[in-house]
Structure 1
């Protein structure tokens, strides 16, 4: 079950979704200010930011260190991945591992590595990595009250 955002009003949701995270305040050169903005945005959307911050760091480490099994474990299945203009469905970790190097090519890994937490874009659908939405991740409720979430990659676009 994906996180429900019923507490957001329609007007507030439209207003929030029309702005990238970095535009919540006047532009500053301070990464600390931007990090605070991202934290506030994720807290507003998902109730907490810490798991999403940790997921990004862990995912960046796993892709950089070529820990293929760890990377594929961080993906929600089945997943449709846009590969060279075609949507390919991967039903399991094993399916994705067979084409891992094609999917996580140097360009995608570079995009993942260059993503700064303080520059993340997020909306009710998920958190975006890359300027063009190359990868998205989101949380799934683990308990009834959605106090705990399991964060997974939900989309990869190449």
Structure 2
């Protein structure tokens, strides 16, 4: 009987010491160096764009196409390797384009190499001098050919041992040696001819 009374007393003491359900103590706070931030989403946010974004001028993954300057340099390199001094060729080529654009028959005629072979009214003809070329200019440099010449980009000229080609071969320019050693060279128009591409224009 005494054992039962003691057991009941122990149970009563333990019950008195047990905290109520709503009074459970919070766990001790973690040290400041390891505590999680108050707002987890804020900790995951990226740094400002100015700190992490790649610079605007970063190189793209795919190489950019050659610029006009790069194409011009490549054309001049080809001229130098195959034909001669590009410092002689480039001004002559640009002057020829300007003369054609201005419909300056006499200026274009002065740039041709004589005797000049041309097809006029479907028949081959030998043009002996600049005055004869200028007289037949519109039959030689037709509007279709003129359009090809003026629309040709220097950076896209084709160069080989025959000279510098406009379009699909409608016009060719090349250097003409003025002495046996070819130390002096003039760039001349050596061919103007109709092609299927010219006819399409």
- Say yes or no: TM over 0.5: yes
Residue ranges of structure 2 left out of the alignment (5+ in a row): 1-62, 195-201
SS at match of 1:147: coil
Contact residue 116 and residue 190 of structure 2 kept, 8 A: yes
Contact residue 163 and residue 172 of structure 2 kept, 8 A: yes
Aligned equivalent of 1:117: 154
| Structure-1-length-normalised TM-score | 0.75
Aligned equivalent of 1:66: 103
SS at match of 1:150: strand
Large movers: runs of 4+ above 4 Å: none
Aligned equivalent of 1:102: 139
1:7-46 correspondence to structure 2 within 5 Å: 28-46=65-83
Contact residue 83 and residue 157 of structure 1 kept, 8 A: no
Greater per-residue strand proportion: 1
Structure label with greater radius of gyration: 2
Note the C-alpha offset of 1:47.
3.1
Q: CA RMSD in A?
A: 1.9
SS at match of 1:133: coil
SS at match of 2:169: coil
Greater relative contact order structure (CA < 8 Å, 6+ sep): 1
